[in-house]
Structure 1
Amino acid sequence: MSSKKINYSILELAMVGVDINHSQVFSNTSKLAQEAENFGYTRFWLAEHHNMVSIASSATTVLMTHVAANTKKIRIGSGGIMLPNHSPLLVAEQFGTLGSLYPNRIDMGLGRAPGTDQVTAHAIRSDRMNSVYKFPNEIDEIKKYFRNQLPTTKVRATVAEGVNVPMYILGSSTDSAYVAAEKGLPYVFASHFAPAQLFQALEIYYNKFQPSEQLEKPYAIAGVNIIAAEDFSYAENLSTSSIKMMLGVMTGKIDFLQKPEPMTSELREVKENPALQRMLKYSFVGDKSSVKNDVENFIRETGVDEVIVASHIYNHEDRVNSFRLFSEIMQEINAENEVFAS
């Protein structure tokens, strides 16, 4: 096992369950962030998705503001802003404003996927493909807006100038690994839903990394799904909501997050579908002991510096409990690493 401390964080999609309205979803998101702060999580990131009834984090920076206002010290960030959907100038202005409102607490995670289907992506920004190809250049453009500019500079993001907002590169393929390494930025891999190129991407990132003003050495974060409970069978029952949700994603029939039900032979068969198994390779479901074993193996195999967790559980109390158990797991792992190092 590694002797370094492994940070642990949350990726929140503000999932909309059947019979749960948006106001309650946003309230639950804020309450979860408060609990995460108490549990010792490093950061609480919000994803950007559009035109999905099951996800309410579409206005990502607005929701970040809500969460930051209701917490005190946990880092709040985007996991991420899908840059081709946005103007680099507006991204700089929004995050510069957030960085001044909540000093040293805001993270800017940037990706280039649409976060939606192609029809919706076109409705968001008809010329987005030009931005996809210019993704590395637009990262540099945002960096420029955060530097102090001369008064004679024609276009400035004055609210961003001199504000400390660390930048992170998100990805689910090797392309993003090259960008993160070249720019000398932390790298976040979406292994919680697209694990196929995880190890290849990490190898590229570690080997190609160039130090920057922000980062002297590589810093890698990888995503996992966690559904933990005191009882293994109860955790399996909770996971039925997630199984049905992922099946909807695969079949193009996205629906609200459904209430859990007892695990059936039919759902177990769906779970064993090879395509679903590939997608959910790093989904760890069970009691504390089994989840800890899975997480330890994941950290050992990847060598990541931080684990970021998604958890698609219908009931708010069950979800909070799952994140509590995961925080206990990570604290135990870090304590054992510290003993090992000494």
Structure 2
Amino acid sequence: MASKLSDIPYSILELATVAKNSSVKDTFDQSLDLAQKAEEMGYSRFWLAEHHNMVSIASSATSVLIGHIAGGTRKIKVGSGGIMLPNHSPLIVAEQFGTLGTLYPNRIDLGLGRAPGTDQVTAQAIRSDRMKSVFKFPEEVKEIQKYFSVENAQEKVRAAVAEGVDVPIYILGSSTDSAHLAAEQGLPYVFASHFAPAQLHQALSIYHNNFKASKFLEEPYTIAGVNIIAADTTAQAERISTSLIKMMLGVMSGNIDYMQAPEDFTNEHREILAHPGFQRMLKYAFIGDPQSVKEKTEAFIKETGVNEVMAVSHIYDHQDRLKSFKIFSEIMKGKI
């Protein structure tokens, strides 16, 4: 485990959140701007998450958006956090990411998850037989690996654009299930503690205790998500965080809407943040001034021993979001 923050890589998970009175095109432009700024700030990765049937999230065509971001940046790794594999054919995923990996060599990551990334009705509309694929998730991960191998050139079914292309695979999880798979296959493991923190420690323990070295990875490698809302003062950060609070209330109630503008932070907001139901989703929401966010981040890394931190910031104003990620980068560089 790294002894200080400056030894820990730090990355961004982007959902391309659509703000009220904004357009999808505005959102894509801002995502690219954020990725370009993140590259300058020293972030290691810029991942995009697959979600469907949500007006507030525009990253539904994830591989297309990954290409847009990679094409507008120079060196930052760009990838999926993740592609929800049961929604897709493994062959098509291999072809898409083989293409991306060829266009942007050594810069594309393929994070794979098994959740639908949407409600069950929409999941059925995406792929009516997806539950069969859910149960075959381990086999389909191996199938993608096969399509990327040069040996597959001898097979009848090929993803020729993927053969021999270096696109590392990451296993995503929000419970303990995928920890077993990542350990068994010797793959890096990414936990969604930014919205599902309950089983984080158990999942990490399973992964570390059962990890088998592979040709892909010699030692365990873990990444965990945290919500970051940083500003010059705690009062400013708390005000900005009201957009996140309203968004999460919408998720919990099934009334998902565009990202709302912030409002004055009140005792009611404080009570909502402290509510057990809210804590089950946002235990790792680090909201505050630079020093307090630093202390919370240090405690998180010490507590989990993760190799890398992936920050998520649901912030209404683009400039406020850039400022938050700038502060976080300075924290991780040891400048704060």
- In the superposition, the TM-score normalised over structure 2's length comes to 0.98
Q: Which of 94, 100, 103 is equivalent to 1:101? A: 103
1:193 aligns with 2:186: no
Which whole-Å CA distance do the structure 1 matches of 2:18 and 2:2 have between them? 37
Following the alignment from structure 1 to structure 2, what is the Cα–Cα distance between the partners of residues 222 and 98? 25
What is the alpha-carbon distance in structure 2 between the residues aligned to residue 190 and residue 150 of structure 1? 33
Match of 1:155 in 2: 157
1:89 alignment partner in structure 2 = 91
Structure 2 residue identity aligned to 1:85:
N
Query: 2:170 touches 2:187 (CA, 8 Å); kept in 1?
Result: yes
How many angstroms apart in 2 are the aligned matches of 1:72 and 1:150? 31
Q: CA deviation at 1:111?
A: 0.2
Are the counterparts in 2 of residues 107 and 166 from structure 1 also a CA contact under 8 Å? yes
Report the 3-state secondary structure (helix = DSSP H, G, I; strand = E; otherwise coil) of the residue aligned with 2:150: coil
3-state DSSP of counterpart to 1:79:
strand
Deviations 1:142-180 (A, max 9, x none): 000001146552100000000000000000111110000
Contact 1:221 1:305 in 2 (8 A): yes
Q: Determine which of 75, 79, 82 is the counterpart of 2:81.
A: 79
Letter in 1 for 2:317: N
> How far did 1:313 drift?
0.2
Q: Distance in 2 between matches of 1:23 and 1:298?
A: 35
| RMSD, matched Cα | 1.2
Could you say what secondary structure the match of 1:51 adopts? Answer: coil
Unaligned runs of 5+ in 2: none
* Cross-structure match for 2:123: 121
Q: Contact 2:16–2:28 at 8 Å: present in 1 too?
A: yes
Whether the 8 Å contact between 1:149 and 1:156 is mirrored in structure 2 is no
Contact 2:2–2:307, Cα closer than 8 Å, also in 1? no
**Which range moves more in the overlay, 19-28 or 147-156?**
147-156
Q: 2: CA distance between counterparts of 1:30 and 1:12?
A: 10
- Quote the offset at 1:271 in angstroms: 2.2
Equivalent residues in 2 for 1:197-276 (5 A)?
197-276=199-278
After superposition, the Cα gap between the structure-2 partners of 1:309 and 1:117, relative to the gap in structure 1 and judged at 3 Å, is: same
Aligned to 2:63: 61
Q: State the distance in 1 between where 2:21 and 2:305 align.
A: 41
Asked if the contact 1:16/1:55 (under 8 Å) is kept, the reply is: yes
Deviates more, 1:27-36 or 1:152-161: 152-161
Residue number in structure 1 paired with 2:291: 289
Query: What is aligned with 1:3?
Result: 3
| CA deviation map 1:180-228 (0-9, x unaligned) | 0001000000000000000000001001000111100000000000000
Structural mapping, 1:289-328, within 5 Å: 289-328=291-330
- Could you say which residue in structure 1 is the equivalent of 2:54? 52
Could you list the structure 1 runs, at least 4 aligned residues long, displaced by more than 4 angstroms after superposition: none
TM-score with structure 1 length normalisation? 0.96
TM-aligned CA deviation for residue 17 of structure 1: 0.5
- Paired amino acid for 1:273: H
Cα distance between partner residues in 1 of 2:333 and 2:272 = 34
1:76 is paired with a residue whose SS is: strand
Distance 1:52 1:45 in 2: 18
Instruction: Find the aligned partners of 1:130 and 1:82 in 2 and give their Cα distance.
Output: 14
CA distance in 2, matches of 1:132, 1:205: 20
Q: Matches of 2:206 and 2:279 in 1, distance apart?
A: 25
Q: Where do 5+ consecutive residues of structure 1 fail to align?
A: 336-342
The question of whether the paired residues in 1 share the 8 Å contact of 2:153 and 2:160 is answered with no
